[in-house]
């Protein structure tokens, strides 16, 4: 069975909430701040600035979980690509002069099965310059 994990990019604070940190944040927000009506309003509004990112079920060369939005590279000579969910599956995308090109997830998994693991080099929110976007 696929392990289900999420992490979150916080647009307001410009930080990534990893799964364990996010659990701590929710515990604090709901159990320590919840009785305060003002805090509840702030919390509710803050969630509009959250981008939810799903775990792909794969790990990189170093054993790190690969999530949506991660920028990965097969080797130093290969083009950096990022992971995106396009229903019904994940795709790898990279930027060209004409726009973005997608690679089906099944092709990405072939490299994985051949032990040619990708390495996470960043994510599209904190490191957009790695794929040719502006910060």
- Nearest of 117, 88, 92, 113 to residue 104 by alpha carbon: 92
Alpha carbon distance 128, 34 (integer Å): 35
Is residue 7 a contact partner of residue 56, using CB atoms and an 8 Å limit?
A: no
Alpha carbon distance 104, 85 (integer Å): 10
Instruction: Tell me which CATH code domain 6-125 carries.
Output: 2.30.30.290
**What mean pLDDT comes out for the span 102-127?**
75
Q: Which two tokens stand for residue 2?
A: 């696929």
Predicted TM-score (pTM) of this structure: 0.76
pLDDT tens, position by position, 31-40: 665 556 566 6
Alpha carbon distance 62, 134 (integer Å): 28
């Amino acid at each position: 069975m696929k392990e289900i994990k999420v992490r979150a990019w916080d647009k307001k604070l410009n930080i990534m909430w990893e799964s364990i940190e996010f659990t701590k944040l929710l515990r604090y927000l709901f159990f320590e701040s919840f009785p305060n009506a003002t805090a509840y309003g702030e919390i509710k509004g803050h969630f509009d600035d959250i981008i939810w990112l799903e775990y792909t079920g794969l790990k990189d060369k170093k054993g790190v979980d690969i999530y949506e939005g991660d920028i990965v590279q097969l080797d130093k000579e290969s083009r950096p690509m990022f992971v995106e969910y396009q229903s019904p599956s994940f795709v790898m995308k990279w930027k060209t002069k004409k726009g973005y090109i997608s690679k089906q997830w099944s092709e990405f998994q072939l490299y994985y099965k051949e032990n040619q693991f990708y390495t996470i080099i960043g994510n599209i929110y904190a490191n957009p310059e790695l794929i040719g976007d502006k910060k």
